[in-house]
Amino acid sequence: MYYFKRTLIKICAFFVITPICAQQTDKIYFFKEIGWTITLPSDFKALDSIENAKKNERGLKAIEESNEIKADITELKTLIAASKDTYNYFNSTITPFDPKVDGPYDSTNKIVKDMVYKTFLDNMPNAKIDSVTTEETIDGLFFDKFHVTITIKENFILNMFLLSKYYKGYDFGISYLYLDVKTKEQIETMLKNSKFKKL
* Domain span holding position 124: 2-196
The count of residues in the chain is 199
Q: What is the pTM of this model?
A: 0.82
Angle at 179 between CA 177 and CA 181, to 5 degrees: 105
Domain count, the chain: 1
What pLDDT tens digit does each residue of the chain (199 aa) get? 333 444 454 445 444 433 333 345 679 999 999 999 999 999 999 987 766 666 666 666 656 666 666 666 678 888 999 999 878 999 999 999 999 998 999 998 998 898 888 888 888 888 899 999 999 999 999 999 999 999 987 778 999 999 999 999 999 999 999 999 999 999 999 999 999 997 6
Buried b (16+ CB within 10 A) or exposed e, 169-185: ebbbbbbbbbbeeebee
Instruction: Specify the CATH number for the domain of residue 81.
Output: 3.40.1000.10
